Amino acid sequence: MKRISLFLLTNISIMFLFSIILNVIGIEKNNLYNLIILSGIIGFSGSIISLIFSKWISLYSVGGKIIKNPNKKIEIWILKTIKKQSKKIGINVPEIAIYLSDNINAFATGRSSKHSLIAISTGLIEKMKKLEIEAVLAHEITHIKNGDMITMILIQGIINTFVIFFSKIILKILSCLFYDEKENSYDSKKGTLFFFIISFLLEFLFGFFANIIIMWFSRKREFYADAGAAKIVGKSKIISALKRLKESNEPNEPKNVSSLCINGKKKKFLEIFMSHPTLKKRIQALYNNEYL
């Protein structure tokens, strides 16, 4: 609830700042307020909806099933382990789900620490030792403790607001250059197609650079989750788990889930576009006691 309140306050502050800036540069007041409201509604709505339904969307995306009545030894052990870790760091016990995949992976999601979920792949269960599974669970439960899933969605909402607002305001300024004051109408030859293309390009360009900010935060949270796991189960176990991930195949989880996973996509042209640091850097950070 605190994070949602902070998110709302941040967006309101952004809208207030925008109104001051645009009044100073002379944008009409009515148009200004309409633009602020539009940007806020679009920026808020997608994030709030994603936040509310994040657990179920993610679970549906991977075809996972929540363990309600464990009947296998490994399932019983996993539930017992997660309850122990939850008690140790003082949060509600998250639901546990398993999804079918040969890849070694896991992720945490949910709208709050009281309504959270940890999903693990069958490949992880089959190919990791118990001490490594324990470390992965600790990594994911640290994400929940830190509120990383919520923060990522809220940051996306704030970024969306910026992207929409600045795209529309630049488009508004450009439109003034093609406005025929005598006819009180737009030049049709210069208008419709031109503005459609410019609007698309502006949103794409701002969204491209905004994504760099989001990915930077995403990489940072992985370092902190690794450090949190080290505090819960010991540094050697999380290092062993990360080394095991280095041996695994390229993750194939859906795009909306892959950024949440402990093992992110490995192949990117530049690291600034990656949601996860390289496993080599994460292991080295643990050896150097960074983020601990």
8 Å CB contact between 38 and 166: no
8 Å CB contact between 291 and 231: no
Question: At a CB cut-off of 8 Å and minimum separation 6, what does 129 contact?
Answer: 240, 244
Q: Is 72 left (phi over 0), alpha (psi -120 to 50) or beta?
A: beta
Q: 3-class SS at 123?
A: helix
8 Å CB contact between 202 and 154: no
Distance CA 217, CA 194 (A): 35
- Rg of the Cα atoms in the chain: 23
Q: 3-class SS at 292?
A: coil
8 Å CB contact between 128 and 136: yes
8 Å CB contact between 162 and 206: yes
Catalytic residue status for 140: yes
Question: At a CB cut-off of 8 Å and minimum separation 6, what does 97 contact?
Answer: 59, 64, 65, 66, 67, 117, 118, 119, 120
DSSP code for 104: -
Active-site choice (132, 140, 222, 253): 140
Q: 3-class SS at 229?
A: helix
Q: Is 121 left (phi over 0), alpha (psi -120 to 50) or beta?
A: beta
Query: Phi and psi (nearest 5°) for 107?
Result: -155, 160
Residues acting as catalytic residues: 140
